[in-house]
Amino acid sequence: MNAEWFEDRPHEECGVFGVYAPGRDVARMTFFGLYALQHRGQESAGIASSDGRAAYVHKGMGLVAQVLNEQNLSPLRGHMAIGHNRYSTTGSSHVRNAQPYLIETVYGPLALAHNGNLTNALELRQELLKRGVGLSTTTDSEVMVQLLAGPKETWASGYSANGPKERWEARIRALMHVAQGAYSLAVLTREAVYGVRDPHGLRPLCIGQLEDGGYVLASESCALLTVGATYLREVEPGEIVRLDEDGLTSVHGHEPQPRALCSFEYVYFARPDSQFEGQVIHSVRQRMGRQLALEASVEADVVVPVPDSSTPAAIGYALQSGIPYTEGLIKNRYIGRTFIQPDDDLRKLGIHLKFNPLPANLAGKRVILIDDSIVRGNTSGPLVRLMREGGATEVHVRVSSPPVRHPCFMGIDMATYKELIAHRLDVEGIRQHIGADSLDYLSLSGMLAAIRAGAGQHSGHCTACFSGQYPVHIPRWLLSDEREKTLFEGVWGV
């Protein structure tokens, strides 16, 4: 299930979706919402729904279309649903970790779908175990659902609630005061669907409205359009939104902290047709390319993107530099994440399983190859060789983000120093490693200028993997490459 043999992209660990829409087939809507968010997680998918009495769930390993079908969608009855797709880090790729988690509580069913990572998961996990709460998975998301379901004495002083809505809102609020790190949540109860965003707004979450009055939550706005919803706004950092018979209600969750939306969402993760902070991702990536051309120009004949994610930056670079844009690599659009591993003979073909060069556009040309990021550095060398195979006389690699020198602990699978090539080598060392004629990156200030040109004065962004400046406290144990073992020692033999 590991696709590293043809990929050097970090993975988002999840996409979430939620809908409250009486009279609509909410399971089907959630299926298509997850389908639009497939790029955010490709190892498991699932949907939980409720009709106000009981709740139903189906989840499994694989792409959305592999896990869900007509047969298993039809039992997912009701007028509200949440969905989740997930990419997992090595060692935790198992159906028991698939979401949404659905459990029975004293106040009825509770389901949760989570995008992000808690930085104090170990502490919270140990706290639950000490209290005698059994845990059946290795995820911090299960910790969150168990904390929400916990008894009254779980919660800090200030707990007072009468009706079911107040009860759940008080619990979500209390959870927000103990959970640290990144979380965008879709929560399903018998009464409502809730959207919750951590106080820094590290991971995205937005709200849309359906024509007939229902509401939708999604990690990215592309999923709203897919189900026919109109984009309304983002869930604010620290905000709880409730979708129910009263419509859309905003509830205070946690005092907002300095904003820190993940800048890698702009660089690579988000779909180019999604929007954050009032700007379409495609335009931001074009600005990054323009800025890169200003900072790292080089004489060449053509600008070629590593498809598809680097295309907008390559267009921007070409527009700014006046050097023609062309396609030089053809990507197998269907390879996706595969569960079939190549055998040794196929493995030798390496990058050819994913890309082929286009000699008609490359032969005899000095090429600027635009990539949006270099993380582990395992595909840049093969890509440069492909350019030369296609007849390029020079290959100048330009990267539309800064070098990734620090791990991410907030929901992205680049979690150790040792795996990051820019932590081990300087730019010249990386150039030699990948065999390019020259290599240059967009500066941190250049990247932020491209993001903030349209994001407004009050925006704020996490840049920790580039700068080492983490927006949240990172405990020492998390910095250890042995942390998976520490966290789950004794659990499932991990």
Nearer to ligand SF4, 101 or 470 (CB): 470
Answer yes or no: 462 catalytic: no
Which of the residues 256 through 275 are near ligand SF4 (CB under 6 A)? Answer: 262-264
Q: How far is the CB of 37 from ligand SF4 (least distance, A)?
A: 17
Nearer to ligand SF4, 13 or 239 (CB): 13
Interface with ligand SF4, residue 399, by CB under 6 A: no
Interface with ligand SF4, residue 410, by CB under 6 A: yes
In the block, which residue shows the tokens 């350019």?
387
Interface with ligand SF4, residue 76, by CB under 6 A: no
- Segment contacting ligand SF4 (CB under 6 A): 53-61, 352-360, 374-382, 404-412? 404-412
Judged by CB under 6 A, the residue of 14, 145, 192, 202 near ligand SF4 is 202
Q: How far is the CB of 78 from ligand SF4 (least distance, A)?
A: 34
Q: How far is the CB of 449 from ligand SF4 (least distance, A)?
A: 16
In Å, how far from its chain's centre is CA 190?
Answer: 28
Nearer to ligand SF4, 9 or 167 (CB): 9
Cα 449 from Cα 200, distance rounded (Å): 20
Residue 27 dihedral angles phi and psi, to the nearest 5°: -65, -40
Is 209 within 8 Å of 158 (Cβ atoms)?
no
- Find the DSSP H helices in 325-481: 344-349, 359-362, 380-389, 421-424, 427-434, 444-455, 464-467
| Count of residues touching ligand SF4 (by CB under 6 A) | 11
Interface with ligand SF4, residue 118, by CB under 6 A: no
What residue type is 225 in one-letter code? L
Interface with ligand SF4, residue 408, by CB under 6 A: yes
Residue 16 dihedral angles phi and psi, to the nearest 5°: -125, 155
Cα 170 from Cα 174, distance rounded (Å): 6
Q: Is 50 helix (H, G, I), strand (E, B) or coil?
A: strand
Nearer to ligand SF4, 101 or 264 (CB): 264
Q: How far is the CB of 398 from ligand SF4 (least distance, A)?
A: 20
Check 14, 222, 462, 465 and give the catalytic one.
14
Let me know if 345 is exposed, middle or buried by CB neighbors in 10 A (0-12, 13-18, 19+).
Answer: exposed
Interface with ligand SF4, residue 488, by CB under 6 A: no
Helical pair 140-149 and 121-130, crossing angle rounded to 10 deg: 50
Q: Is 381 helix (H, G, I), strand (E, B) or coil?
A: helix
Nearer to ligand SF4, 82 or 262 (CB): 262
Judged by CB under 6 A, the residue of 462, 474, 478, 487 near ligand SF4 is 462
Cα 465 from Cα 415, distance rounded (Å): 10
Q: How many residues does the chain have?
A: 494
Interface with ligand SF4, residue 412, by CB under 6 A: yes
Q: Which is nearest to 62 in space by CA: 38, 90, 92, 26?
A: 38
Residues 6+ away with beta carbon under 8 Å from 441 = 296, 398, 399, 401, 402, 403, 427
Q: How far is the CB of 260 from ligand SF4 (least distance, A)?
A: 7
Interface with ligand SF4, residue 154, by CB under 6 A: no
Site string for ligand SF4, 155-194 (x = CB under 6 A): ----------------------------------------
- Interface with ligand SF4 (CB under 6 A): 202, 262-264, 408, 410, 412, 462-465
Active site residues: 14
